[in-house]
Amino acid sequence: MTNQKEMSTKYDPNRVEAGRYQEWLKADAFKPNANPDAKPYSIVIPPPNVTGKLHLGHAWDTTLQDMLIRQKRMQGYDVLWLPGMDHAGIATQAKVEAKLAEEGISRYDLGREKFIDQVWEWKDEYAATIHDQWAKLGLSLDYSRERFTLDDGLSDAVRKVFVKLYNKGLIYRGEYIINWDPKARTPCQISKSCIKMTKGRSITFVTHYLMVLAISKLPPLVRKRYQVIQRLPFIPMIRVTRI
């Protein structure tokens, strides 16, 4: 009588997948093949923010990328899927401040250097979580080339590009209406803001002032024609507060 091993009627991922991803990494299965005759193919993973854990949207997006990467690898391309993470400056700062607030501490209590240490601890914690989630998904990333947006090399590259664009006159510094976070006391992007319309005079005043200022710089004959301009009507003011 032969020994037969009974097959489970249900798929057990813990039993089947345990250790498999580590074997792939150990074998450098996700690194480019360095074949000079192979056509290159690469994808830079949209770097997730270290503000927290990955969600279903990340899982869906990276799964599609992994399908493309594995297909091209099997077709003989020299494939690189470059991993990385985004520091998400203001958003991460807000998360760390919220955590400190639960302990009755503010960033002003800690001071700049100690607060930065807290931010780096947060980054290390959630970067490790993201790595574990990537491993659970089985993503074929080349971790030997992983980058973080605050790496010295990337920071130098960003600075170089900004200086180059500034010298060409393609970017400039000047007055601009911004979204202001009154709690963090810093500008924030529109996607991190909650816009609420309220009645007020601020925009009306600014618009009227800028128009009067512009008219005052016109030649006298032209300026005289605009003396009949009356005060501008009220315009709703946009008040921005952080989500």
> In a structure prediction context, what are the per-residue pLDDT tens digits for the chain, which is 243 residues long?
567 777 788 888 888 888 899 999 999 999 998 889 999 999 999 999 999 899 999 999 999 999 999 999 999 999 999 999 998 888 888 889 999 999 999 888 999 899 999 999 999 999 999 999 999 999 999 999 999 988 888 888 888 999 999 999 898 877 777 788 777 777 777 766 677 777 765 544 444 444 445 555 555 554 444 444 433 343 333 333 333
Q: Which residues, 6+ apart, have CB-to-CB distance to 38 below 8 Å?
A: 76, 77, 78
Residue where one domain finishes, among candidates 143, 167, 191: 167
Asked, for residue 141, whether it belongs to a domain, the answer is yes
Are residues 121 and 236 located together in one domain of the fold? no
Are residues 194 and 144 located together in one domain of the fold? no
Are residues 193 and 82 located together in one domain of the fold? no
pLDDT at 17: 86
pLDDT at 207: 44
Asked, for residue 1, whether it belongs to a domain, the answer is no
pLDDT at 147: 92
Q: Are 130 and 124 in contact (CB under 8 A)?
A: no
Burial 118-151 (b: 16+ CB within 10 A, else e): bbeebbeebeeebeebbbebebbbbeeebeebee
Nearest 10 degrees: CA dihedral of 48, 52, 55, 60? 10
Residue where one domain finishes, among candidates 130, 145, 167: 167
Query: Residue 13: which H helix or E strand, with range?
Result: helix 13-17
Q: Are 208 and 234 in contact (CB under 8 A)?
A: no
Asked, for residue 3, whether it belongs to a domain, the answer is no
pLDDT at 242: 39
Residue where one domain finishes, among candidates 142, 167, 192: 167
DSSP E strand stretches across the chain: 40-44, 78-82, 84-85, 147-148, 180-181, 186-187, 193-198, 237-242
Are residues 105 and 213 located together in one domain of the fold? no
Q: What is the 3-state secondary structure (H, E, C) of 132-168?
A: HHHHHHCCCCCHHHCEECCCHHHHHHHHHHHHHHHHC
